Amino acid sequence: MNSKFGLIYEGKAKKIFAHKDSDKVIIEFKDDATAFNALKKAKFEGKGELNCLISSKIFEFLIKNNIPTHFLELKNNNSMIAQKIKIIPLEVVLRNIAYGSLCKQTTIKPGSVLERPLIDIYLKNDNLNDPLLTKDRINLLKIIDNKELEFISGMTLRINKLLKKFFFNINLKLVDFKLEFGYNSKGEIVLGDEISPDNCRLWDLNQSNGTIVSLDKDRFRNDLGGFIEAYGEINKRINDFI
Cα separation, 104 vs 238, in Å, equals 32
Judged by beta carbon, residue 101 or residue 171, the one nearer ligand UDP is 101
Identify which of residues 18 and 87 has a Cβ nearer to ligand UDP in the complex.
87
When the beta carbons of 38 and 140 are compared against ligand UDP, the nearer one is 38
Min dist CB 54 to ligand UDP, Å, is 14
Q: How far is the CB of 21 from ligand UDP (least distance, A)?
A: 29
Which CB sits closer to ligand UDP, 75 or 172? Answer: 172
First-to-last alpha carbon distance for the chain, in angstroms, is 32
Cβ 40 to ligand UDP, closest distance in Å? Answer: 11
CB 91 within 8 A of CB 121: yes
Phi-psi map region of 210: left, alpha, beta (phi>0 left; psi -120 to 50 alpha): left
Which stretches within the chain are classed as H helix?
47-64, 101-105, 135-141, 146-169, 218-221, 227-241
Which residue's CB atom is positioned nearest to ligand UDP? Answer: 100
- Report which residue type is found at 83: Q
Structural contact between residues 45 and 56, judged by C-beta atoms closer than 8 angstroms: no
Q: What is the three-class DSSP state of 141?
A: helix
Bridge partner list, 74:
80
Query: Shortest approach of ligand UDP to residue 216 CB, angstroms?
Result: 7
Spatial separation of the C-alpha atoms in residues 39 and 31, rounded to whole Å: 16
Q: Which chain residues interact with ligand UDP by CB under 6 A?
A: 91, 93, 99-102, 130, 176-178, 199-201, 217
C-alpha 111/C-alpha 212 separation (Å) is 9
> What Rg do the C-alpha atoms of the chain give, in angstroms?
17
Closer residue to ligand UDP, CB minimum distance, 75 or 159? 159
In angstroms, give the least distance from the CB of 2 to ligand UDP. 31
Please, which residue, 19 or 94, has the CB nearer to ligand UDP?
94
- Enter the DSSP assignment of 128: G
* Least gap, CB of 130 to ligand UDP (angstroms): 5
Nearer to ligand UDP, 126 or 145 (CB): 126
Which amino acid, one-letter code, is at 4? K
Q: Cβ 125 to ligand UDP, closest distance in Å?
A: 11
